[in-house]
Amino acid sequence: FASRAPQAEIIGLKERMGWTMPWVTVTDGFDKDFGVDEWHGTNVFYRDGERIFRTYFVNNRGDEQMGGTWNYLDITPLGRQEVWEDSPAGYPQTPTYKWWNWHDSYVADAAPDKKWVEVSDAGEAAFREESAKAER
């Protein structure tokens, strides 16, 4: 995250919300250089070695719909890294919805929460059953 807010305000908000993501204070023209002036915007950058690409940009009113995890993942070059996506060789891909975990369960090599997998499997089965009925 990047904003013009002073670090004291950013740190206070991060502590209050329990956020740990990097958040810098912009002191130059970075925001204006990338199309975000007085309001808000979303840029997505992708680094390939020493090269950096801006792969997505939306600002002002178009940025308001952003906020959910899926919105952000879906605009990144590597997406959700689920099996239905066309990811480059060597990037992990997992079955749809099976990588989700509770916020306190994201540790290295953590397996998906069994309860969530059961809920996801049941929902997927119900969806397929409804689709099959509709096709008859």
The 10s digit of each residue's pLDDT in 33-48 is 877 776 778 888 899 9
Confidence label for 60 from pLDDT (cuts 50, 70 and 90): confident
Nearest-angstrom CA–CA distance, 29 and 38: 12
**Contact assessment for residue 116 and residue 101, using Cβ atoms and an 8 Å cutoff:** yes
The residues facing 56 across adjacent strands are 44
Q: What residue ranges do the domains of the chain occupy?
A: 81-136
Residue 106, pLDDT above cutoff 70: no
Q: What is the pLDDT of residue 96?
A: 78
Token readout for 42 is 């979303």
2-14 pLDDT tens trace: 888 899 999 999 9
Q: Could you tell me where the DSSP H helices lie in the chain? A: 7-17, 30-33, 69-75, 114-135
The residues facing 18 across adjacent strands are none
